[in-house]
């Protein structure tokens, strides 16, 4: 009996670990797989800004291009930087894992399934909550991923974010943070004026598109499964009409 109890606890352990989650309130975002323009912009951002370090090794360029309605020639011309890579290949890069571990402390993980692993809200908040911290090797820290090994690769767009709170204040219940405005959450963070090329709304939209694409990538079949469900229901309704007529025919002489 004890053995079974231990086995059950071990089976449930990942659930509790997931539930613990981040101690920081996350900004929520609504994934929209119908918004093709957003997904297309997100793919461009991902390829340009993330794939220097990260891979999406379970996703092929061609599948993404077809699902997002981007012509193959455009993807080949603008989104595949390696001359030897074909559109049918996986979205990998040339960064050697051993060296990147030395450079960053941790190798940049593959991001194909990241949005399923952490959830879109987490990724959305993470990308918007880097802040200046001279004590760190890259000069930045992160609110939801303390002591992260990744530099703030979007700083030229967002600007330099300054944190006015101590770590304790940041993670405490009432010191809730809005990484960008600092408003309504205790005023911990603010962007240095004119240090980024985008306004706050533009930057939020940029990161939204990026995470929207990452959510698509983590589960591409979701795009069609909703539509298939509708077709199946319509089919069942039509089938019911015929089945009902057949039943009437069979039972008509039985009184
Ligand atoms: C200069 C290299 C570099 C670039 C460019 C880069 N990252 Fe990272 N990223 C890293 C490293 C290194 C880590 C691992 C950090 C750690 O474990 O401390 C990481 C970690 C992450 C994580 C957390 C993974 C996890 O769950 O542990 C996410 C999410 C992420 N990156 C997203 C992105 C996105 C999206 C982009 C493009 C906008 C991007 N990164 C661009 C180097 C990079």
Domain extents in the chain: 22-218
Is the shortest distance between the CB of 106 and ligand 1 below 6 Å?
Answer: yes
Q: Report the C-alpha gap between 198 and 159 in whole angstroms.
A: 8
* pTM more than 0.75: yes
Please state which CATH number belongs to domain 22-218. 1.10.760.10
| Cβ contacts of 28 within 8 Å, gap of 6 or more | 121, 124
Residue 81's CB: how many other CB atoms inside 10 A?
A: 12
Is the shortest distance between the CB of 217 and ligand 1 below 6 Å?
Answer: no
H helices of 97-221, where?
97-104, 114-118, 120-128, 155-158, 167-171, 200-218
Is the shortest distance between the CB of 85 and ligand 1 below 6 Å?
Answer: no
Is the shortest distance between the CB of 53 and ligand 1 below 6 Å?
Answer: yes
Q: Of the candidates 223, 215, 221, which has an alpha carbon nearest to the alpha carbon of residue 111?
A: 215
**101-110, 158-167, 238-247: the lowest-pLDDT one:** 158-167
Plot region of 233 (φ>0 → left; ψ -120 to 50 → alpha; else → beta): alpha
Overall average pLDDT of the 224-253 stretch: 94
Predicted confidence band of residue 189 (pLDDT cuts 50, 70, 90): confident
Is the shortest distance between the CB of 150 and ligand 1 below 6 Å?
Answer: yes
Distance 23 CA to ligand 1 centre (A): 20
- Closest approach atom of ligand 1 to CA 50: 37
Predicted confidence band of residue 19 (pLDDT cuts 50, 70, 90): very low
Torsion, Cα 240 241 246 248, to 10 degrees, reads 110
User: Averaging pLDDT over each range in 185-194, 221-230, 239-248, which range is the top one?
Assistant: 239-248
pLDDT, residue 155, reads: 96
Q: Of the candidates 161, 165, 120, 127, which has an alpha carbon nearest to the alpha carbon of residue 144?
A: 127
Mean pLDDT of the chain: 88
Total residues belonging to the chain: 255
- Give 61-119 pLDDT, tens digit per residue: 999 999 999 999 999 999 999 888 999 999 999 899 889 999 999 999 999 999 999 99
Plot region of 71 (φ>0 → left; ψ -120 to 50 → alpha; else → beta): beta
* Mutation probe of ligand 1 site: the residue of 150, 151, 216 with most atoms within 8 A of C-beta: 150
């Amino acid at each position: 009996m004890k053995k079974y109890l231990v086995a059950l606890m071990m089976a449930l352990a990942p659930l509790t670990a997931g539930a613990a989650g981040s101690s920081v309130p996350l900004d929520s975002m609504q994934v929209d797989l119908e918004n093709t323009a957003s997904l297309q912009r997100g793919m461009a951002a991902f390829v340009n800004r993330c794939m220097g370090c990260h891979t999406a090794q379970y996703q092929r360029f061609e599948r993404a291009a077809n699902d997002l309605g981007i012509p193959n020639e455009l993807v080949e011309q603008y989104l595949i930087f390696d001359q030897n890579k074909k559109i049918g290949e996986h979205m990998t890069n040339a960064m050697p894992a051993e060296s990147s571990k030395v450079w960053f402390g941790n190798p940049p993980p593959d991001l194909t399934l990241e949005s399923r692993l952490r959830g879109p809200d987490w990724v959305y908040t993470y990308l918007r909550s880097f802040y200046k911290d001279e004590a760190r090797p890259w000069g930045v820290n992160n609110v939801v991923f303390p002591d992260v090994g990744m530099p703030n690769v979007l700083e030229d767009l967002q600007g330099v974010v300054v944190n006015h709170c101590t770590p304790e204040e940041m993670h405490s219940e009432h010191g809730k943070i809005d990484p960008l405005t600092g408003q309504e959450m205790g005023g911990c963070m603010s962007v240095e004026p004119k240090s980024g090329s985008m306004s706050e709304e533009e930057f939020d939209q940029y990161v939204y598109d990026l995470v929207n694409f990452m959510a698509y990538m983590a589960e591409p079949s979701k795009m069609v499964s909703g539509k298939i469900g509708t077709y199946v229901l319509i089919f069942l309704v039509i089938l019911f009409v015929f089945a009902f007529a057949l039943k009437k025919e069979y039972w008509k002489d039985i009184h």
